[in-house]
Structures are given as C-alpha cells and as structure tokens.
Chain A
C-alpha cells in the first residue's frame, strides 16, 4: 500500500496539471448536461403542476358571452370528467401609452386561487388580496412591453370614455398564457375592479362596447375514456354548442409547448453542447494517456524490473484519470440545481414562470452511471497499453522519430519549424485537429441559428408568419380610409407587393385549427407538394404528423356550420400556433365561410422594410378602427435576447474549453520538447520567435480541423437545427451561407487556439539551456 501511495503521489505531481484541466472540462460538460436535464424536467413539471392546480384539464376553450348552458351540456357528456368555468373579461389595452396588438384577459382574484406572485427581484411573495386599482401581470410583459412595476395599463372597455386604468403592482405566474410566445396575456385584478369593468360594459351602448365578457372552460377527459384527444374533441363538438361560443381552444400539450418553447430550445442546445464537451473529454483522455505512457514508458519499465506489475502501474493512472472523471461528474451533478435555477431565473421574463427546480434523481443517477461507464471504459482501454510494456525491450529501445520531408528556408523559418514539428509528431496533433473540427461544427450550428434568427428575430418572424410581409393593416369597419392609409405607407416606402390574409377558425376532420386564407396562394411558404386551389388545402408538418395526413389525402373542413371535402395538395411552413394551422385559397374558404366581413388583413411588402416600425407608429397614432402589425410579435424581442445571450454564452464556454484543451495539449508537448526548445534557444532563436512558431503549429493543425468542420457543418448544421426546431412547429430550417454560421467559426476557432497556445507558451521563457546542460552532469 505504501508503494502504491508513493507512486500515486509521484504520478499526481507529474500529471496534476493535465488531470486538473481534464477535471475542469468534465465539470463543465457534466454541469451543462445535468443542468439541461434538470431545467427540462423541472420546467415541464412546474408548468404541468401549475396547469393542474389552476384546473386546466385536457383542453381549455376560450368562449364569449355567458356560457352556463354550454357548461351544462359539456358536463352531460359521459366522457367528460370535469368542466370548470372561469369567468374573464376580454379587452384591448395600452401599456404606458402603447397599444397592444392583442386583447388581454382580466381575471378577478379572490385570494383563494393558487396563483404564485413574484416581486421585482424574482422572489416569491405571498399575497392574499389585490388592492383596488392594482394589477398583476406576467413577467413576460417586461420583455414584451418593457413594463415595470409602477407603470400603468389602461383597458379600453367602450368608446364612450369606458376606460379603466391600473397600476402594475407585481408579477404572477400564468401557466396558460404567461410565456412571451403567447400574445394574449392574463391580468389579475381586485374583484371590485372586475365588477366595475363589467358594469362599464353593461352601461355602454352595444355599438360602443369594446370589451366583452367570456370565460375559459377547462375540460378534463374521464380517465377511463378510451377516446383519443382528437376523438374526444370531436365528441364535444358534436354534442354541444361549443362551436357557437368558442373563440379558440388549446390542448394541454399545445400550451405546454408554447410555455416551454424557449426553455426547451435552451435545454436542447445545452444538451448538444454537453455531448460535444463529453466527446472532447474522451479525446483528451486518449490524448493525455497516450502521451503520458509514451513519455513514461522508460520509468515504467524500470519499475517493472524492480518487481512492480503492469496492473499496479495501470491502476495508478486509472485512479488519477478515472478519479478526475468521477469527481468532475459528481461536482457537475452537485451544482446542476444552482445552474439550472440561475438559467431559469434569467429566462423568467420570457417564459413567464419561475421554474421550481427539482432534481430528477432517477434520471440524473442514470446519466451519472452512463457517464461514469463511458469514462471508465475510456480510461481502462487507454491504460491497457501499460500492461503490455516489455521492460527490457523498452529499456533497449532507442527513441526514434519518423523522418519527414518539409522545406526549410530562412524567410519563413518559423513557419517551417512549425510545419516540421507537426509533421514529425503528427499523432500528437490528431486529437487537436478532431477537437477543432467538433468545435467548428458546433459553433457553425450555433452560428447558423444566429444567422437565421437575425438581429431582430427575422427568422422566427418568417417561420411564425403565414407569408412574408413588412406591414399588415386590417380595417375593422367601413369608415377606415384605406386609400389614404396606403398613400401614407407609400410615402414612407413604395409598396412592392401586397396581398390579403384572413385567419379563421375551422375544424379539419373535427379537430380545431386556424385556417390561413390568402387571396394569392403564391405567398405561402411551400415545403413540398403544390399550392392549394379552391378544392384543396395546405397543411403544416405538425398537422400532417398530428393527424397522420399525407399529400393527396382527402379531409373534411368545417366552419360556421358548413362543410367541404378538400384534398391536401402540399405541406407549407407556418409555425404559428406551434404549427397547428392550415392554408386555404380565398375560393376554397368561400365554400364554407363568409369572406365578406372585416376579416381581411392587407399585407404589404415594402421596398425599404426598415421603415416599417415608423409606418406602424404613424398609423397607430393617426388612425382608429384599424389593426396594424408588423411581421413580429410583442414577445419576440425577449426571445431574441435570450437566444443571442445563449449564443454569446456558448461562445464564451467554447473559448474556455479551447483554453483548457490548449493547456492540456501544450503542456504535454512542451514537456516532451523541452530539449528541442532549449537547443533552438542555444542556437540563438529568441523565446518570442519560439512562441510564435509554437502558436503557428496550433494554427496550422486547428485550421485543418476547422476546414474539416466547415465541410461537415455544411452538411450537418441545417439538418441538426431543423430536427430540433421541428418539435416547435418550424418544419423547415435553412440558414444558407452566412458570416456567423460559416466564416466566423473557421476564423474564431483557429485564432482562439493559436492565441491560447501563444499565451500558454509563455512558459518557454522558463526553458533554461542550463537545465538542458545539467542533464549531462558536471
């Protein structure tokens, strides 16, 4: 045992830097993995719990009017376990003078509802009553409207001064509508204020009323029911007057997807990143152990001649490297709760929820065992070479190098020295090349996402919108002077193209969807098949999967009591409603719906799209009776901010990984080349030049890896992101060629490696020629 301890201590002293660097990398990798898992499971569990506590059920239907009779009908259905009605007021609102594009839903808070309140510091506060004149909002409103505690929100209930103004007193978690992905927001107010608002609407003449009363009906399917969700919903439609009351409906999984969209994207990328890091760790284990065994083969042979077995020597390195892996994973797991909590807290203004971080012990234990098994196999396999060391043969072996040819000239001496070193010891650089390739692919994926997202979230805008546009104007009555409005738009920038869109509720084979109706179908973002005509419709990938539909299938589409059969002519891209929508031509919709009302929103594509916000502001300020919007939504900026922060964060962690990798590789290289370095110095080569030559080696190798990564990313980046985004209704992802996705990684990765190598090589100034000579002895 004594000799084991002594050998272990000696090995630790020689290898401590490599072991510590590896440990650090494993900590980061496991922290990313366990945080991502914790965040994902906690977020899902939190939202599900909150939805259950608030009585969401399997479906929630938003209805207008007083639907007590409807509630009774629903409760009569055998398959329904429960139906809970929650009264609300729908009303348009202004935040600090800015109009919202969407209605808000006001809820009277009676102190018994299980809502959770959050103060401005993100801490949970207990609240038994909301004071008169105060309002509580979703934290996502902060990113959507830059609203702060103390700001005012005014609800427009009628045209005849029927306004009600509140002061924002704090935040609450809204598990149904809280995410910034959802435009419609809930507001909690005092019951007296709520009653007053109902009275204002009741007092106003019918023609002047802007707000409306309604309800959410939370419907739960009987647990013994054999019906699928779709069949259950068809049952509801068939046996009740639901269609007559309904504004819109959401299934529980749709709401979950909306609420958790951003968090799941962040978790997904963290998981991908952690896999990348684990692969790098495995490469580094192989690299370090190969070099260590190569360098210490002689000493090991001597120790074997003294009676130590190969297995004892092997166990020293298994303990060191396996131990660092074990401790790294343990530390990563230990701090994952804190890291996940901080990430969740950072996203609260986008997710609208303060996720309760719960450690998923079972899942984490499983991942822990898998990680440990992978590390154990890697370390055990690599150290296997130790037991094959033949002592006398090793001691007799002359240290030989493979001869390589590469030019030498005075002019490019440093480059030529670097090239020669790389070629002579190419095996030592393969790991570096591989890591550079992996990091380049990863940064390219991140870059592709960033480029697609654009500085203002253009990628998301286009994915979530039905068709490309800069500005949309929907007249809500006949008094709107559309000719004048178009002259204004043209004054800002000539209109290049225009078309009309109506978004109407329909059912497809009994399932509720939004129909995007265009007067010119060429504007649909087609993925496959052909555009629809009057006898056909387009569906999204989500609808295709949800309903098991393919191009050529016949579906029954219903609206307003009318029904028609249509062929699915193609798949198109529109992630709005997480992709739960269909595309129709105006002629196709006319067969089942009324196309004469004020349902049409005119979309404009401007010659200079950058003026759209100015036009929006002008129209909002000067015209009434119109709904103006740009190709954006109010919560987009918050999402874009989080995504940009994610990109920056991943770049920062990548830079750290590069620094650690270089420290590991360079440490071993400098150790094995100490003699050559001292010789170069004795010949008169300045330390500064040696450092440049050393950094050049990394630049050459990593550039090679980066170029391979560039090629691999060209093939992999779009499909990888596309497969992640498909889960969120974004059926097609194509970033194309971009600076951020293609060029930046192959510049940044080699430069970071070279810079780190140059910084690390500062220790070359400590390579003493005397030390070299001292090896000769006095």
Chain B
C-alpha cells in the first residue's frame, strides 16, 4: 500500500477550459488527482464530466489552461508524446469494452503489455495470465470478445488497462452497459485495484459505482461545484451510502 498521507498529484489541471464552438463545456476547472486515490467524477448528462476525463488523459486537447502529469505538460503535447504517455502511464476502460475484435481476451491483455510496458515478453505473458486469473477469466481467455459475456469482456478490458502498470487508470462509465451482476463484478475489481494502490479516475452517474471511490467530485455546467471525501468511512458502508445520498440530495440529484 502506498502512503496516503503524502498527497502527490498524478495529474493536475489549472483553469481547464474546453469549448465546442460557442459552448463552454469546461469552465476554468482546477483539479488534482492524487496518487493512490480512487476519484469519482459525477454529474448530470452534459455536465462535462467525460470531457474533463478526456482532457486530463490527453485524448482531447483543452482549449485553455494547463494540465500536468508529473513533470510533463499534457496541454500542447504532440500526438507522439501523448501516445507515449498513454502507452507508459495511462490505462483506459470505456463504457463499451472496445477490445480488439479479432484478438482473444488473453491476446488483448498481452497486446497492451507488448505495446506499452517496459516488461520483457515473458514477463508480459506471465503477467497477463496472472491478471486473467485475478479477473476470474480463466475459462474465457481463449475466446474472442464476441464470444464472451459483457461482464467477462469488461473484466478483460480492465485487465488490459492495468497490464502495463499505469500510473492512473481512467474509467469512463465502465459499468454503463452491464447488468447488475456484471456491474458488481467490475466494481469489485476496481475496489481491489484501489486497495493495491492503483490510482483511479472514474466518471459515472451511478451511485453504486461512486460509492467505491474515496473522493467524489460533482461537476455542473463545466465547473466542479462540490467535493465529498469518503476516505474516513471506508469501513462503514452504510455511512458511506448515507453521506453520498445526503450530498447528492443537496446537489439536487
């Protein structure tokens, strides 16, 4: 476990602005995502939560402001620098699994390691096997994405995202397309990863998913208007639920 007392930002953004034409989707947001935190961004549809994730991960260039990842500036970085950053430091999980359709689940996980990690091929293959086992995918690893359930595919997508030991795992509505049972499986995985020290930034509008985080940000009209810390209630689930419900009610959710 990493020392939570030292708050080192993995990603930091100052006055992040993003406009699409006339519409200002992000409005001078200041934000730091700390190492080891499980940060959740909530908000209503169209509030700008996913856009914030894209900007922080460099998939979308911010119109204004500055975003850093450690000592590297993401805003204004070249496509090549951003690709390297994605390969070395970031992992992504999307709402749809977005696995490579003609690779098996195991090959999808391995592929990520081969492209991004500095590990040897042997280490990648062993790591992929371990991750597959950890994600309870032993029976499905040799199947194609089209031949497995949505939960299995999304678990494989999570495994692929963490294969290269990313500094931060970005997740955009990862349970949005799953049923209840599969949602729980995937969220349990995120919790497990967080416990092991993985920094996670999760965008969701699902309260169940949000409860897994230790820090929740609420975004509205392109601004972070409120923040809730759940770290201190980590062993009391009912208290966490209550706190979140009251907080969201206060925000008009």
Contacts and interface: CB of A to CB of B under 8 A. Distances in A.
A408 B102 contact: no
B86 interface: yes
B27 to A, nearest CB: 16
B29 interface: no
Which among B102, B103, B144 has the greatest number of chain A C-beta atoms within 10 A? B102
Contacts of B100: 676, 679-680
Interface residues of A, number: 36
Contacts of A165: none
B99 A679 contact: yes
Given A408-B114, A679-B100, A686 B94 contact: no
Contacts of B86: 681-684
A778 B112 contact: no
A769 B59 contact: yes
B14 to A, nearest CB: 22
A675 B143 CA distance: 19
Tier of interface size on chain B: 35 or more
Given A675-B101, A683-B111, A400 B146 contact: yes
B88 A684 contact: yes
Contacts of B95: 776-777
Contacts of A680: 100, 115
A684 B114 contact: no
B176 interface: yes
Given A399-B146, A410-B124, A413-B114, A679 B98 contact: yes
B39 to A, nearest CB: 18
A765 B79 contact: yes
Contacts of B110: 408
A746 B178 CA distance: 51
Given A420-B103, A683-B111, A684-B88, A772 B146 contact: no
Which among A400, A401, A409, A778 has the greatest number of chain B C-beta atoms within 10 A? A778
Contacts of B98: 675, 678-679, 682, 772
A409 B115 contact: no
Interface in A428-468: none
A681 B50 CA distance: 19
A403 B115 contact: no
Interface in B74-107: 79-80, 83-84, 86-88, 92, 94-96, 98-104, 107
A682 B92 contact: yes
B13 interface: no
A478 B185 CA distance: 111
A685 interface: yes
Given A408-B111, A683-B111, A773 B54 contact: yes
A761 interface: no
A464 B235 CA distance: 100
B237 interface: no
B158 to A, nearest CB: 14
Nearest to A677: B100
B188 interface: no
Contacts of A400: 144, 146-147
Interface in A727-778: 765, 769-770, 772-773, 775-778
Interface in B142-201: 143-144, 146-147, 160, 164, 172-173, 176
B60 interface: yes
A398 interface: yes
A685 B113 CA distance: 11
B5 to A, nearest CB: 32
B102 A404 contact: yes
A683 B100 CA distance: 11
Contact of A684 (B45, B94, B116): B116
6 contacts: A400-B147, A403-B144, A408-B114, A681-B83, A683-B116, A776-B50
